[in-house]
Amino acid sequence: MPTSVRTAQDLTGRTAFVTGAASGIGRASAVLLAEAGAVVHCADRDAQGLHATAAAIKNAGGTARTHTLDVSDRAQVETAIRTAQQEDGLDVLAAVAGIMHSSPVLETTDADLDRVLAINFKGVLYACQAAARAMIDAGRPGSIVTMASGAVDTGGPGLLCYGAAKAAVVQLTKTLATEVGRHGIRVNAVAPGWIRTPMTERHNNDEEQVHTEALMSRMSPLGRVGTPEDVAHAVLHLASDAAAFTTGQILRPNGGVAMPW
Protein backbone atom coordinates (compact mmCIF):
# COMPACT_ATOMS: atom_id res chain seq x y z
CA MET A 1 0.00 0.00 0.00
CA PRO A 2 1.41 3.45 -0.88
CA THR A 3 2.74 5.49 2.03
CA SER A 4 0.42 8.35 2.95
CA VAL A 5 1.63 11.93 2.75
CA ARG A 6 1.25 12.29 6.52
CA THR A 7 3.30 9.16 7.20
CA ALA A 8 5.99 10.06 4.68
CA GLN A 9 6.83 13.28 6.53
CA ASP A 10 6.43 11.83 10.03
CA LEU A 11 9.76 12.02 11.87
CA THR A 12 8.54 10.49 15.12
CA GLY A 13 11.33 8.53 16.77
CA ARG A 14 14.05 10.33 14.83
CA THR A 15 16.60 12.95 15.85
CA ALA A 16 17.63 16.03 13.91
CA PHE A 17 20.59 18.36 14.39
CA VAL A 18 20.10 21.89 13.03
CA THR A 19 22.83 24.53 12.79
CA GLY A 20 21.90 28.19 12.56
CA ALA A 21 18.83 27.41 14.65
CA ALA A 22 18.69 30.72 16.53
CA SER A 23 16.77 32.62 13.86
CA GLY A 24 15.49 32.76 10.30
CA ILE A 25 15.60 29.63 8.16
CA GLY A 26 17.39 27.64 10.86
CA ARG A 27 14.75 28.42 13.48
CA ALA A 28 11.88 27.72 11.09
CA SER A 29 13.49 24.41 10.09
CA ALA A 30 14.08 23.35 13.70
CA VAL A 31 10.48 24.15 14.64
CA LEU A 32 9.02 22.34 11.63
CA LEU A 33 11.17 19.24 12.14
CA ALA A 34 10.00 19.15 15.75
CA GLU A 35 6.38 19.53 14.64
CA ALA A 36 6.97 16.48 12.42
CA GLY A 37 7.93 14.53 15.53
CA ALA A 38 11.72 14.71 15.64
CA VAL A 39 13.81 15.38 18.73
CA VAL A 40 15.70 18.47 17.59
CA HIS A 41 19.19 19.47 18.67
CA CYS A 42 19.46 23.20 17.99
CA ALA A 43 22.92 24.69 17.45
CA ASP A 44 24.02 28.30 17.06
CA ARG A 45 26.47 30.82 18.47
CA ASP A 46 23.58 33.12 19.45
CA ALA A 47 22.66 31.64 22.84
CA GLN A 48 19.69 33.93 23.42
CA GLY A 49 18.12 33.20 20.04
CA LEU A 50 18.94 29.53 20.43
CA HIS A 51 17.05 29.23 23.68
CA ALA A 52 14.11 31.15 22.20
CA THR A 53 13.91 28.53 19.44
CA ALA A 54 14.08 25.70 21.95
CA ALA A 55 11.36 27.35 24.04
CA ALA A 56 9.10 27.65 20.99
CA ILE A 57 9.56 23.94 20.27
CA LYS A 58 8.92 22.91 23.87
CA ASN A 59 5.89 25.19 24.21
CA ALA A 60 4.39 23.44 21.18
CA GLY A 61 4.90 20.05 22.82
CA GLY A 62 8.14 19.11 21.07
CA THR A 63 11.55 18.11 22.37
CA ALA A 64 14.57 20.37 21.88
CA ARG A 65 18.13 20.42 23.14
CA THR A 66 20.62 23.25 22.64
CA HIS A 67 24.30 23.53 21.73
CA THR A 68 25.96 26.95 21.77
CA LEU A 69 28.80 26.74 19.27
CA ASP A 70 30.68 28.36 16.40
CA VAL A 71 30.31 26.26 13.25
CA SER A 72 33.70 27.44 12.00
CA ASP A 73 35.32 25.55 14.90
CA ARG A 74 35.61 21.91 13.87
CA ALA A 75 36.10 20.63 17.43
CA GLN A 76 32.96 22.36 18.71
CA VAL A 77 30.86 20.96 15.87
CA GLU A 78 32.21 17.44 16.29
CA THR A 79 31.65 17.49 20.05
CA ALA A 80 28.05 18.70 19.73
CA ILE A 81 27.10 16.16 17.07
CA ARG A 82 28.78 13.37 19.01
CA THR A 83 26.81 14.39 22.09
CA ALA A 84 23.55 14.41 20.14
CA GLN A 85 24.27 10.97 18.72
CA GLN A 86 25.08 9.56 22.16
CA GLU A 87 21.98 11.06 23.77
CA ASP A 88 19.35 10.45 21.11
CA GLY A 89 20.93 9.01 17.97
CA LEU A 90 21.15 10.98 14.75
CA ASP A 91 18.95 10.67 11.68
CA VAL A 92 18.87 14.17 10.14
CA LEU A 93 21.35 16.99 9.76
CA ALA A 94 20.21 20.39 8.52
CA ALA A 95 23.34 22.50 8.07
CA VAL A 96 21.76 25.94 7.81
CA ALA A 97 24.17 28.29 9.60
CA GLY A 98 25.63 31.03 7.43
CA ILE A 99 26.37 34.73 7.08
CA MET A 100 25.85 37.28 4.34
CA HIS A 101 28.64 39.31 2.82
CA SER A 102 28.86 41.71 -0.09
CA SER A 103 31.96 43.30 -1.59
CA PRO A 104 33.05 44.09 -5.16
CA VAL A 105 35.59 41.65 -6.56
CA LEU A 106 38.26 44.36 -6.83
CA GLU A 107 37.79 45.32 -3.17
CA THR A 108 37.52 41.84 -1.67
CA THR A 109 40.20 41.12 0.93
CA ASP A 110 41.72 37.90 2.22
CA ALA A 111 39.90 38.53 5.49
CA ASP A 112 36.54 38.79 3.69
CA LEU A 113 37.05 35.54 1.82
CA ASP A 114 38.46 33.64 4.80
CA ARG A 115 35.57 34.67 7.08
CA VAL A 116 32.83 33.74 4.63
CA LEU A 117 34.40 30.44 3.62
CA ALA A 118 35.04 29.54 7.27
CA ILE A 119 31.35 29.81 8.15
CA ASN A 120 29.43 29.23 4.93
CA PHE A 121 31.53 26.38 3.58
CA LYS A 122 33.82 24.94 6.23
CA GLY A 123 31.05 25.10 8.84
CA VAL A 124 28.83 23.03 6.55
CA LEU A 125 31.67 20.64 5.76
CA TYR A 126 32.46 20.04 9.44
CA ALA A 127 28.81 19.32 10.25
CA CYS A 128 28.43 17.00 7.25
CA GLN A 129 31.57 15.06 8.12
CA ALA A 130 30.61 14.63 11.77
CA ALA A 131 27.00 13.70 11.00
CA ALA A 132 27.89 11.21 8.27
CA ARG A 133 30.45 9.52 10.52
CA ALA A 134 27.90 9.29 13.34
CA MET A 135 25.28 7.75 11.04
CA ILE A 136 27.76 5.26 9.54
CA ASP A 137 29.14 4.26 12.96
CA ALA A 138 25.59 3.67 14.22
CA GLY A 139 24.73 1.67 11.12
CA ARG A 140 21.58 3.66 10.49
CA PRO A 141 20.41 5.48 7.36
CA GLY A 142 19.90 9.21 7.45
CA SER A 143 19.40 12.44 5.59
CA ILE A 144 21.80 15.37 5.34
CA VAL A 145 20.43 18.69 4.10
CA THR A 146 22.80 21.54 3.32
CA MET A 147 21.96 25.18 2.68
CA ALA A 148 23.14 26.57 -0.65
CA SER A 149 21.67 29.70 -2.25
CA GLY A 150 20.09 31.08 -5.37
CA ALA A 151 23.39 32.91 -5.75
CA VAL A 152 24.82 29.74 -7.32
CA ASP A 153 22.44 30.20 -10.26
CA THR A 154 22.58 33.94 -10.81
CA GLY A 155 25.55 36.26 -10.68
CA GLY A 156 25.34 39.66 -9.09
CA PRO A 157 27.54 42.49 -7.88
CA GLY A 158 29.17 41.85 -4.54
CA LEU A 159 28.45 38.11 -4.49
CA LEU A 160 31.97 36.71 -4.98
CA CYS A 161 32.63 35.44 -1.44
CA TYR A 162 29.06 34.43 -0.66
CA GLY A 163 28.41 32.83 -4.04
CA ALA A 164 31.73 31.00 -4.09
CA ALA A 165 31.09 29.51 -0.64
CA LYS A 166 27.58 28.42 -1.60
CA ALA A 167 28.84 26.91 -4.87
CA ALA A 168 31.32 24.93 -2.79
CA VAL A 169 28.39 23.69 -0.68
CA VAL A 170 26.69 22.44 -3.84
CA GLN A 171 29.82 20.53 -4.84
CA LEU A 172 30.15 19.13 -1.32
CA THR A 173 26.52 17.98 -1.45
CA LYS A 174 26.88 16.16 -4.75
CA THR A 175 30.22 14.59 -3.88
CA LEU A 176 29.18 13.43 -0.42
CA ALA A 177 25.98 11.96 -1.86
CA THR A 178 28.04 9.67 -4.11
CA GLU A 179 30.25 8.58 -1.23
CA VAL A 180 27.72 7.76 1.51
CA GLY A 181 24.74 6.51 -0.49
CA ARG A 182 25.80 2.90 0.05
CA HIS A 183 25.24 3.47 3.76
CA GLY A 184 21.67 4.57 3.15
CA ILE A 185 22.51 8.23 3.72
CA ARG A 186 20.97 10.79 1.40
CA VAL A 187 22.56 14.21 0.87
CA ASN A 188 20.70 17.11 -0.74
CA ALA A 189 20.86 20.90 -0.76
CA VAL A 190 18.29 23.66 -0.58
CA ALA A 191 19.08 26.79 -2.62
CA PRO A 192 16.65 29.54 -1.56
CA GLY A 193 15.96 32.73 -3.41
CA TRP A 194 15.61 36.02 -1.54
CA ILE A 195 14.12 35.23 1.87
CA ARG A 196 13.01 37.81 4.43
CA THR A 197 15.04 36.89 7.52
CA PRO A 198 16.79 38.73 10.35
CA MET A 199 20.05 38.12 8.47
CA THR A 200 18.90 39.89 5.31
CA GLU A 201 17.41 42.69 7.39
CA ARG A 202 20.69 43.19 9.26
CA HIS A 203 22.63 43.16 6.02
CA ASN A 204 20.61 46.03 4.49
CA ASN A 205 19.36 49.32 5.80
CA ASP A 206 15.60 49.94 5.61
CA GLU A 207 15.77 51.66 2.21
CA GLU A 208 17.93 48.92 0.68
CA GLN A 209 15.66 46.22 2.12
CA VAL A 210 12.54 47.79 0.61
CA HIS A 211 14.27 48.22 -2.77
CA THR A 212 15.63 44.67 -2.83
CA GLU A 213 12.35 43.06 -1.83
CA ALA A 214 10.46 45.09 -4.42
CA LEU A 215 12.96 44.04 -7.10
CA MET A 216 12.86 40.37 -6.13
CA SER A 217 9.07 40.41 -5.99
CA ARG A 218 8.94 41.78 -9.54
CA MET A 219 11.38 39.09 -10.71
CA SER A 220 9.30 36.27 -9.26
CA PRO A 221 6.29 34.92 -11.18
CA LEU A 222 4.68 34.55 -7.74
CA GLY A 223 5.09 38.25 -7.04
CA ARG A 224 6.63 38.01 -3.59
CA VAL A 225 9.79 37.23 -1.65
CA GLY A 226 10.11 34.10 0.43
CA THR A 227 9.68 33.39 4.11
CA PRO A 228 11.76 31.14 6.37
CA GLU A 229 8.83 28.74 6.48
CA ASP A 230 8.92 28.40 2.68
CA VAL A 231 12.46 27.06 2.97
CA ALA A 232 11.80 25.00 6.10
CA HIS A 233 9.20 22.96 4.22
CA ALA A 234 11.85 22.13 1.62
CA VAL A 235 14.18 21.03 4.42
CA LEU A 236 11.48 18.82 5.94
CA HIS A 237 10.71 17.24 2.58
CA LEU A 238 14.35 16.31 1.98
CA ALA A 239 14.78 15.12 5.57
CA SER A 240 11.77 12.84 5.42
CA ASP A 241 10.84 9.59 3.69
CA ALA A 242 8.91 11.67 1.16
CA ALA A 243 12.32 12.13 -0.48
CA ALA A 244 13.49 8.55 0.05
CA PHE A 245 14.79 8.23 -3.54
CA THR A 246 16.24 11.73 -3.75
CA THR A 247 19.95 12.34 -3.28
CA GLY A 248 22.61 14.62 -4.73
CA GLN A 249 19.92 17.13 -5.73
CA ILE A 250 19.45 20.87 -5.30
CA LEU A 251 15.93 21.97 -4.36
CA ARG A 252 15.28 25.61 -5.28
CA PRO A 253 12.51 27.39 -3.33
CA ASN A 254 13.21 30.71 -5.07
CA GLY A 255 9.84 31.85 -6.38
CA GLY A 256 11.00 31.23 -9.94
CA VAL A 257 13.53 34.07 -10.00
CA ALA A 258 16.24 31.94 -11.64
CA MET A 259 13.91 30.93 -14.46
CA PRO A 260 14.32 32.88 -17.74
CA TRP A 261 10.81 34.14 -18.34
Residues with active-site annotation: 162
What is d(CA 130, CA 247) in angstroms, rounded to the nearest whole number? 19
137 Cβ contact list (under 8 Å, min separation 6): 85
Q: SS3 of 15, please?
A: strand
Sign of torsion, CA 195 200 205 208? Answer: negative
Distances (CA, A) of 209 to 157, 162, 203, 219, 240: 16, 18, 9, 15, 34
Q: How many CB atoms lie within 10 A of CB 261?
A: 8
The 39-44 sheet, strands edge to edge: 63-68, 39-44, 15-19, 92-95, 142-147, 185-190, 250-251
User: Helix 24-35 to helix 228-239 angle, to the nearest 10 degrees?
Assistant: 50
What is d(CA 172, CA 166) in angstroms, rounded to the nearest whole number? 10
What phi and psi values does residue 142 have, to the nearest 5 degrees? -165, 180
What is d(CA 59, CA 47) in angstroms, rounded to the nearest whole number? 18
Residue among 48, 49, 43 at smallest CA distance from 20: 43
